[in-house]
Amino acid sequence: MTAEESQIPVEGAPSEAEAPAALRADARENRHKILDAARRLFATKGIDVPMSAIAREAGVGMATLYRRFLTRQELLTEVFADQFAQCAAIVEAALADPDAWRGLRTAVEGLTAMQAQDHGFSAAFVEQLPQGAMVEEKLRQGVIGFKQLIQRAQKSGQLRRDFTFDDLALVLMANSGVVQHAPESAAATSRRLVGYLLDAFRTDGTARQPLPPPVPTDLSQVAFPPAPR
């Protein structure tokens, strides 16, 4: 529990986040406000944004926030449940593609595009994975499916034999860094990076895809970032 959380009075009632359908109309409205505010702030500021900032953004008090969500982890799980389901859907659609390399490429591009669109999801995926049965099940499905994509592409001779599932984490970490360094051009910069990486993963016999357009960058800002104020 954080210092911020420890200052919130704990009431006897259980968390109402577990049964949103049973909430009163005003309580449901507050819950939706909190989730919407958390999604906005996690997407733009990252998952470390203070709970007090989420309460202010939602227009509710801290006690109300903690009645709906007892912990930050509970809030994270609820906010990102849809995104993890989308990850599983991306992999499932890629497996349905009869072209093994195209399916793998589509999955990698889809996952990294999600990172570029939502900075909070990127951090949650790479650094602080939310917990929960639904998240864990969708993650399990995604892992199994992505491993199948790798096996198919290697069996077809389109993916280099030394590529492993762990290399997906390297791709996501590299993409996360790009998103953080270039938030204004995150989508375009991410596409360029992923294009280079996919070209390195393919075998010589696989058709080369044109790289996405280059993105102007300020090298001095990357090599010598300004000191935090």
Give domain 11-70's CATH architecture: Orthogonal Bundle (1.10)
The yes/no answer on whether domain 79-211 falls in CATH 1.10.357.10 is yes
- CATH 1.10.10.60 domain span(s) along the chain: 11-70
Query: 147-156, long-range: CB within 8 Å, 24+ apart, which pairs?
Result: 148/95, 149/91, 149/94, 149/95, 149/100, 149/103, 149/104, 149/107, 150/104, 152/95, 152/100, 152/103, 152/104, 153/100, 153/101, 153/103, 153/104, 155/100, 156/100, 156/101
Question: Model-level pTM greater than 0.85?
Answer: no
Which of 92, 105, 217 has the alpha carbon at shortest distance from 171? 105
- CATH 1.10.357.10 domain span(s) along the chain: 79-211
What string of pLDDT tens digits covers the 229 residues of the chain?
Answer: 455 554 454 443 444 444 555 557 888 899 999 999 998 888 777 778 899 999 999 999 999 999 999 888 888 888 877 777 888 899 999 999 999 999 999 999 999 998 888 766 666 655 555 566 666 777 788 889 999 999 999 999 999 999 999 999 899 889 988 887 777 788 899 999 999 999 999 998 888 888 899 888 777 666 666 665 5
Token representation of residue 36: 């919407």
Q: Helices marked H in 96-132 — which ranges? A: 100-117, 119-126
